[in-house]
Amino acid sequence: MAEFEPKIVAFVCNWCTYAGADLTGTSRIKYASNVRIVRFPCTGRIDYMLLLKAFDEGADGIIVSGCHPNDCHYTSGNFHARRRWMAFRSLCDFIGIDTRRIKFSWVSAAEGAKWADIVNTTVASVRELGPYDEYKKVAKKPVKEESHG
């Protein structure tokens, strides 16, 4: 069997992390190709339901990244996001969603190398954890078998 290639979805803000990821590319820094980047205006716009949707659709890991505190293009979007992530993460943990599969980070437009590192370490740790079968089983279980809960 081929080696497991984790599917990672990255939710990033337009102003810092996306630009940072761009810099990674223009600096010709190589990093794992497992990541699919979804660009948002701001981390404050990243609804936690979107993260669950990524798992629903088969993601093995998630990266959420935006501007460093005090660097938000909209002044405070990332501060709001941080609170929401704190709540989201503890609810995930309580419900049993594997928080090791969700990486949060601040990556600025100048941190091309950091972005590569975040992606590489996330891919490596998720690779070690294996496919997120626990969630996939729940998300894709055929409806008919569930009818008699």
Interacting residues with other proteins (CB under 8 A): 48-49, 52-53, 56-57, 69-70, 76, 79-80, 82-91, 93-99, 103-106, 118, 134, 138-144, 146-149
Measured CA to CA, the distance from residue 54 to residue 143 in angstroms comes to: 20
Nearest residue (CB) to other proteins, 5 versus 98: 98
| Shortest spacing between CB 27 and other proteins, in angstroms | 20
Q: Residue with structure tokens 């629903």? A: 56
User: Do the beta carbons of residue 147 and residue 20 sit within 8 Å?
Assistant: no
| Shortest spacing between CB 131 and other proteins, in angstroms | 14
Nearest residue (CB) to other proteins, 28 versus 48: 48
The pair of three-digit structure tokens given for residue 146, joined into one six-digit string:
């569930």
Other C-beta atoms lying within 10 Å of the C-beta of residue 26: 8
| Shortest spacing between CB 18 and other proteins, in angstroms | 17
Measured CA to CA, the distance from residue 61 to residue 67 in angstroms comes to: 21
Nearest residue (CB) to other proteins, 36 versus 53: 53
